[in-house]
Amino acid sequence: MSEPSPTDKPKRKANAAFMKPVQPDETLAAVVGNQPLARTELTKKVWEYIRSHNLQDPENKTFIKADDALKKVFDGKDRVSMFEMTKLISGHVS
């Protein structure tokens, strides 16, 4: 049996907190649907929505331009960074 090489890394386990389903509120459900989702899936659905509606700022891709549905999720802001977006979305789940 050979020794593991220094480049072999143990597989990461998924963080249970991210995998626990959360319930989107009515505002966020307009974007991602009203089914409970894991936070990772919720983020994936928001990004699918952003891409399908061409809402990523072409000049600076770290910013999202809000349409009417996302503006409600983003507390009325027209434009947010992807980092701020995550914080704002977390206020719409329980």
pTM of the full structure: 0.78
Beta carbons within 8 Å of 58's beta carbon, 6+ residues apart:
none
| DSSP conformation class of 71 | H
The model's pLDDT over 2-24, given as tens digits with 9 standing for 90+, comes to 555 556 666 766 667 668 899 99
Which structure tokens are listed for 62? 């770290």
The model's pLDDT over 39-72, given as tens digits with 9 standing for 90+, comes to 989 999 999 999 999 999 999 999 999 999 999 9
